[in-house]
Structure 1
């Protein structure tokens, strides 16, 4: 009885082995078909790989200056960063974790449109002009965009020239469809990443020209530093401008009081009248008070200037922009392997399942046609 049960338990395993062997036998019998499909996939993969334009990526790494105010809580922030938690300080609204959002924002991207560039052949261009005129796309993109081009052409027939015409200035609040496409294309080619543990900022730009890629990455780093510097020093610069205004007013008032005292002294030399001496003392006191006020505002102005210098962030360039020598994409080997793999998998699915399903469907149709005749 026990031997009979063991034989029953082993039957599914034997059937499974038979099924697997049958599948392997089908694949081996159709190995020529698999080879043909693999060769076809390799040919298609080569066509696709060589049809995609080369892209060059330039990377810049910046290390921001450590803030003394955060030094005391450095250990706690390090533990929080290990746990994936970002501790905000509350004093700075644009902290490094927001730099990727700043770089991808519409105002920042639109500000790069008019940046002057030079390609590898020495031709002068701008970012917008390069994306519109000098950036190529695979041949199938023209086929995929054909319906949209036809629809746009039909719409232009029913749209007045005044509505289609675009002005020289860009309205960030209301971008035209063409400007919006350029913004999306440029924002997909630039990026910023921040390491939460080391606070190292990595900026990158990808273009089809290596020189353009390096120049654009360098411009992005410069613009980001200017943006952060302007934000962090905004309050200090406003205080400095106000201190400068007070200092200028105090200086003018001091010069006027000093001149009044000098004029009165020159006109009333040798007088011993008490009223004349009183007036002279009053003018002298006004001049002294004006000088003291001028001295105080000058000290406040110097402190405001020092505050601006203190709040100005300093970034150390860990890795500067260099012209890339090799393209970053496309990976022709990966594309080739991927297409060959997909072709072999598709051929295997057809051999194992598709052919039987089609044959059974045909047989069923034949049987259905034969039944009415009987």
Structure 2
């Protein structure tokens, strides 16, 4: 019985510790209401400054579904029909080396972004008609970014004395197969990497391209341009090997064709010149030239068939793209609303001021008193 009584007393003690004095907290809040009003005013001013400093941005999303040929579906085309004459397989069962999961890496690659800088864009109000690289220079930035960029601008001004040397080095590096960017172009590419995103769905293979810029018409135009460039890049990648094989067979075809025509011409000239001759040596030479002509024709015919296979393979390797959701000019800006930003800063200022007055300040006073006692 005594143990149960002690246990109940402990429970009541714990319950008493968990009781919150709401009226006491309310009285403390009322006591510091003037401080909270000031904090709300400060938060309101800061929120307005931040909200007005953030430029409007528009987002356009495009859904792209690549239908890549693969498996045995391509084996029933023209390439397999041409290959049947040679008794060889087309070889379309190899796995796809460029799938939807690589789309983000392609879109964020430096060569891809450099090609986008030359794209032509027109603003919604028709006042801007220039290239993307010039448009990026005219985009607005938050006011605090100029303050943060002031030291970098001073350093870049000093480095501008060496611009000529940098340009010459840049030209040499481009010619040698590398890419060297100055600070301005590197900053633009860094901004584009954040503004242009690609999100692939591994299950369905659908690619969602998202472009975020400050003008709705420019955003939609760039979204369409990114889709077109991505299609061209994937098609060029998929058909590169087939085109190289086709170009090689084109060259080989012309060479074998010329060899056959030469052998045919030699045979015809020899027959015309020795049509009345019945010597054994004449007959042997005629037979040799005829065999050379037949052999040249066989090689020429085989190369011609392989060329037809290669031409069909180039067409079969081209992936087909279906644009599920095209680029549409947005009507409203994206991102967080200015009202939400202002309300958020007001709430944050009031919460911080209240936490300091109710919790931080008492503990700070206790800490200062504790530090003074050893000295006394």
TM bucket, shorter chain:
0.7 to 0.9
Q: 1:108 aligns with which of 109, 112, 118?
A: 112
Q: Determine if contact 2:36/2:353 at 8 Å carries over to the other structure.
A: yes
The question of whether the paired residues in 1 share the 8 Å contact of 2:58 and 2:215 is answered with: yes
Comparing 221-230 with 182-191, which one deviates more in the overlay? Answer: 221-230
Please give the residue correspondences for 1:203-282 in structure 2 after superposition, counting only pairs within 5 Å: 203-282=209-288
Report the CA distance between 1:248 and its aligned residue.
0.9
- Against the structure 1 CA distance between its residues 331 and 4, is the aligned structure 2 distance closer, same or farther, given a 3 Å change threshold? same
CA distances 1:140-180 after superposition (whole Å, capped 9, x unpaired): 11112122223444x448x5454465777584543322222
Q: Aligned partners of 1:173, 1:181: CA distance in 2, in Å?
A: 15
Superposed displacement of residue 302, structure 1: 0.5
Q: What is the TM-score with the length of structure 2 in the denominator?
A: 0.80
> What residue in structure 2 maps to residue 135 of structure 1?
139
* Alpha-carbon distance in 2 for matches of 1:139, 1:279: 92
Equivalent-residue separation in structure 2 for 1:97 and 1:368 (angstroms): 66
What SS class does the counterpart of residue 321 from structure 1 fall into?
A: coil
Equivalent residue in structure 2 for 1:41, among 40, 43, 47: 43
Question: Given that residues 60 and 220 in structure 2 are in contact (C-alpha distance below 8 angstroms), is that contact kept between their aligned partners in structure 1?
Answer: yes
Aligned-pair CA distance for 1:271: 4.2
Deviation string for 1:171-213 (max 9, x for gaps)? 4543322222222111111111111111101112111122222
Matched, 1:119 2:123: yes
TM (norm. structure 1) is 0.80
- Distance in 1 between residues matched to 2:13 and 2:222, nearest whole Å: 68
The residue aligned with 1:309 is: 315
Query: Where does structure 1 lack aligned partners over 5 or more consecutive residues?
Result: 72-88
Q: Which runs of 5+ in 2 are unaligned?
A: 74-92
* Structure-2 separation of matches of 1:240 and 1:91: 21
Alignment: residue pair count: 350
Q: Structure 2 CA distance, aligned partners of 1:211 and 1:92?
A: 35
Please tell me whether residue 194 in structure 1 is matched to residue 196 in structure 2: no
> Which of residues 297, 300, 304 is equivalent to 1:294?
300
Distance 1:3 1:270, change over 3 A: closer
Which residue pairs with 1:177 in the alignment? 183
RMSD: 3.3
Q: 1:22 to 1:242 in 2, by over 3 A?
A: same
Tell me, yes or no, if structure 1 residue 352 matches structure 2 residue 354. Answer: no
Match status 1:331 vs 2:337:
yes
- Preserved contact between residue 250 and residue 297 of structure 1 (Cα < 8 Å): yes
**Which aligned pairs between 1:156-167 and structure 2 lie closer than 5 A?**
156=159, 160=162, 162-163=164-165
Distance 1:4 1:257, change over 3 A: closer
Q: 1:149: which partner in 2?
A: 153
SS in 2 for 1:233: helix
Does the Cα contact within 8 Å between 1:119 and 1:125 map onto a contact in 2? Answer: no
